[in-house]
């Protein structure tokens, strides 16, 4: 049944596109959500009286981690997955890669299939420079397009297993469990900066 759900999801995505705080598990150990005192991000933000715009996000592709920080302090770490090519930087539309670099939030809104969608500003100025340089160097075809519609979102209903099993199912987006994307969506601000590293 899991394989059939995954097949449907992949097909669908082709058509849609500080003090004494200690680290503890928020969810079950399988989920690997780690936070200060075992609290949700919403609870941490509320208790510490933090503004959403003062938070930043660090996404590590090699570690499959999505961290929310305040200054240099990691508040919470969620597991995440990526595009079906999780290793390389995004070169062009259709390559299944998640772009690397520093991004801003373009928009955020509820999503009928993936709970919530946080749309990032790929391609930005740096993305376009890399894309044009790769074209000039012959790394990608002259007719290639850069792509877009990259964001952070959840999974289809009942498909949280794709996150804990590290199933890279998107076309380049970052995917979290339903509970995690809800926690992030309700905590960050419109000016939260997102950094994606290899």
Q: Is 44 exposed, middle or buried (0-12, 13-18, 19+ CB in 10 A)?
A: buried
CATH architecture label of 2-17+20-197: Beta Barrel (2.40)
Smallest Cα–Cα separation from 78: which of 69, 87, 86, 70? 69
Burial 58-70 (b: 16+ CB within 10 A, else e): bbebeebbbbbbb
CA 80, 154, 34, 42 dihedral sign is positive
Task: Say if pTM beats, i.e. exceeds, 0.75.
Answer: yes
Residue ranges per structural domain of the chain: 2-17+20-197
Q: Phi-psi category of 64—alpha, beta or left, where left has phi over 0 and alpha has psi -120 to 50?
A: left
Alpha carbons 180 and 157: distance in angstroms, whole number: 13
Q: Please tell me the predicted confidence (pLDDT) of residue 158.
A: 95
Residue that is written with structure tokens 């209903």 in the block = 157
Alpha carbons 23 and 172: distance in angstroms, whole number: 30
Q: Phi-psi category of 115—alpha, beta or left, where left has phi over 0 and alpha has psi -120 to 50?
A: left
Smallest Cα–Cα separation from 73: which of 59, 60, 54? 54
- What is the number of other CB atoms lying within 10 angstroms of the CB of residue 175? 29
pLDDT in tens, the chain (198 residues): 444 444 444 444 433 443 333 333 344 334 579 987 889 999 999 999 999 999 999 999 999 999 999 999 999 999 999 999 999 999 999 999 999 999 999 999 999 999 999 999 999 999 999 999 999 999 999 999 999 999 999 999 999 999 999 999 999 999 999 999 999 999 999 999 999 999
Question: Which 8-state DSSP code applies to residue 54?
Answer: G
Q: Please tell me the predicted confidence (pLDDT) of residue 32.
A: 77
DSSP conformation letters of 72-130: TEEEEEEE-B-BSB-SSPP-STTS-BPP-EEE-EEEEEEETTTEEEEEE--S-HHHHHH
């Amino acid at each position: 049944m899991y394989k059939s759900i995954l097949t449907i999801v992949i097909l669908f995505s082709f058509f849609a596109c500080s003090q004494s705080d200690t680290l503890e598990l928020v969810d079950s150990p399988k989920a690997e959500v780690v936070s200060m005192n075992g609290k949700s991000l919403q609870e941490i933000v509320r208790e510490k009286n933090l503004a959403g715009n003062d938070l930043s996000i660090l996404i590590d592709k090699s570690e499959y981690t999505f961290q929310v920080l305040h200054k240099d302090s990691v508040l919470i770490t969620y597991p995440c997955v990526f595009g079906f090519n999780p290793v390389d930087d995004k070169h062009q539309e259709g390559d299944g890669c998640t772009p690397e670099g520093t991004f801003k939030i373009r928009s955020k809104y509820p999503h009928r299939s993936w709970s919530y969608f946080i749309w990032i500003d790929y391609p930005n100025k740096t993305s376009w420079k890399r894309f044009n340089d790769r074209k000039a160097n012959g790394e990608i075809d002259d007719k290639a397009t850069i792509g877009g519609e990259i964001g952070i979102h959840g999974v289809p209903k009942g498909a949280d297993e794709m996150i804990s099993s590290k199933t890279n199912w998107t076309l380049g987006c970052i995917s979290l469990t339903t509970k995690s994307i809800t926690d992030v969506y309700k905590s960050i601000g419109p000016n939260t900066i997102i950094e994606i590293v290899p």
